[in-house]
Amino acid sequence: MGGADRIREQGGAGTFEARAYAARSATSPLAPLTIRRRAPGPKDVRIEILHCGICHSDLHSVRDEWSSILATTYPIVPGHEIVGRVAAVGPEVGKFRVGDVAAVGCIVDADGTCEGCREGQEQFCPAVTFTFNGPDRHLGGVTYGGYSEAIVVEERFVLKVPPSLDPARAAPLLCAGITTWSPLRRQGAGPGRKVGVVGLGGLGHMGVKFARAFGAGVVVFTNSPGKREDALRLGADEVVLSRDAGAMLRHAGSFDLILDTVSADHDVNALLGLLRSGGNLTLVGAPSKPLEVSAFALIFGRRGLSGSNIGGIAETQEMLDFCGKHGIAADIEAIPVQKVNEAYARLARSDVKYRFVIDMASLR
């Protein structure tokens, strides 16, 4: 019998209670729930959560929209854009001290030995455990995320937050930040390259900031005319309304790279037509239904269609350090946890500027 089983047999010794917000079914609103967290082991860091961003993946998961790939186990406590203060550390923890500002993103466990882990791409580890709705190898059941007052995570998955960053505005970097940073970096977004960002939400607005900071030319494609001024302020050189056929045509065959952050079904063929020959459209958005792709949109021009999933731990730290150095953080609307259902309704209709971040003091 494993250690976790013994702990539960002992009636919860080795665990502590934490207040959280959870959904109990795909149709129920998020509501208060008391969960159990493990007491920190030798390598663990216990974090008092101060801020947690609301990612559209939280909404997809709460509504079980990815049921065919990643079915949701209820109750679900979402949240993987976590910034907090270190409240306790195990005896073998070396990088963190009580009182430090620390962060946790989408990954809380991985085997550390597979090819993905060796390459610093823990998100591709066959044994990766995501921060919520993943198998909890310590306590059994599933992992609970950041809509909670505390979390316990092994040190190797805990990130340092540069002191120059506002902790609330840094929280979305842990998912929206790394998810856009990683493909832009890998594909050489920089001077002389023309980058398109499709969808100006949490991911999209970070994509614009990073592409701009790397020196690339940036064009935003949006369905929301009201976001035009913001897109320019965030760093876009130009903003195109995706339904404006004339404006789309003017950009045909001109992009090196397009980052598609759209969360719902949409026409990727129209976007592929914007790529120059050899250009690449990278999907980071994760619509629940398969997208229809025209072979000709790829064949004519030898265009590539690819995907990208968050990023590894080391590259997440690199991204945070870059943000600290260059003063980059998310544009946020801070909310108390009691407004989370309202925020979800707004997120579902693209009414977000540009990330909701829960002020976790409201839970205490």
Which parts of 142-181 interact with ligand NAP (CB under 6 A)? 175-176, 179
> What phi, psi does 356 have (nearest 5°)?
-80, 135
Which parts of 63-157 fold into alpha helices (H)? Answer: 115-118
Cβ proximity of 129 and 135 under 8 Å: yes
Residue closer to ligand NAP by CB (options 194, 266) is 266
User: Which residue in the set 73, 223, 269, 341 belongs to the binding site for ligand NAP (CB under 6 A)?
Assistant: 223
Size of the site for ligand NAP (CB under 6 A): 31
Cβ proximity of 285 and 203 under 8 Å: yes
Least distance in Å: CB of 81 to ligand NAP?
A: 9
Least distance in Å: CB of 104 to Zn ion?
A: 12
> What phi, psi does 298 have (nearest 5°)?
-95, -45
Q: Could you say whether residue 234 binds ligand NAP (CB under 6 A)? A: no
Residue closer to Zn ion by CB (options 57, 180) is 57
Least distance in Å: CB of 308 to ligand NAP?
A: 6
Least distance in Å: CB of 80 to Zn ion?
A: 5
Residue 201 site contact among Zn ion, ligand NAP, none (CB < 5 to 8 Å, cut-off depends on kind): ligand NAP
Residue 146's closest CA among 71, 49, 19, 75?
A: 49
Instruction: Give the alpha-carbon dihedral of 295, 70, 105, 110, to 10 degrees.
Output: -100
Residue 61's closest CA among 85, 48, 80?
A: 80
Least distance in Å: CB of 105 to Zn ion?
A: 8
Residue 266 site contact among Zn ion, ligand NAP, none (CB < 5 to 8 Å, cut-off depends on kind): ligand NAP
User: Which residue in the set 102, 152, 197, 284 belongs to the binding site for ligand NAP (CB under 6 A)?
Assistant: 284
Q: Could you say whether residue 200 binds ligand NAP (CB under 6 A)? A: yes
Nearest residue to ligand NAP, using CB?
201
Least distance in Å: CB of 44 to ligand NAP?
A: 25
Q: Could you say whether residue 56 binds ligand NAP (CB under 6 A)? A: yes
Which parts of 153-182 interact with Zn ion (CB under 5 A)? 175
**Residue 123: how many CA atoms within 13 Å on its side-chain side?**
15
Binding segment for ligand NAP (CB under 6 A), chosen from 110-118, 185-193, 198-206, 297-305, is 198-206
Instruction: Give the alpha-carbon dihedral of 18, 19, 23, 28, to 10 degrees.
Output: 150
Beta bridge partners of 198: 221, 260
Angle between helices 176-186 and 202-213 (to 10 degrees): 40
Residue closer to ligand NAP by CB (options 245, 361) is 245
Q: Could you say whether residue 357 binds Zn ion (CB under 5 A)? A: no
**What are the DSSP calls for 4-50, one per residue?**
HHHHHHTTSTTEEEEEEEEBSSTTSPPEEEEEEEEPP-TTEEEEEEE
Q: Could you say whether residue 55 binds Zn ion (CB under 5 A)? A: yes
Pairwise CA distance, residues 159 & 251, whole Å: 39
Q: Is the peptide bond before 42 cis (omega within 30 degrees of 0)?
A: no
**Tokens standing for residue 263:** 């969360």
Q: Could you say whether residue 338 binds ligand NAP (CB under 6 A)? A: no
User: Which residue in the set 20, 262, 274, 305 belongs to the binding site for ligand NAP (CB under 6 A)?
Assistant: 262
Cβ proximity of 147 and 52 under 8 Å: yes
Q: Could you say whether residue 309 binds ligand NAP (CB under 6 A)? A: yes
DSSP state for residue 135 in the 8-state scheme? B
Interface residues toward ligand NAP, by CB under 6 A: 55-57, 60, 175-176, 179, 199-204, 222-224, 227, 261-264, 266, 284-286, 308-310, 347, 350, 352
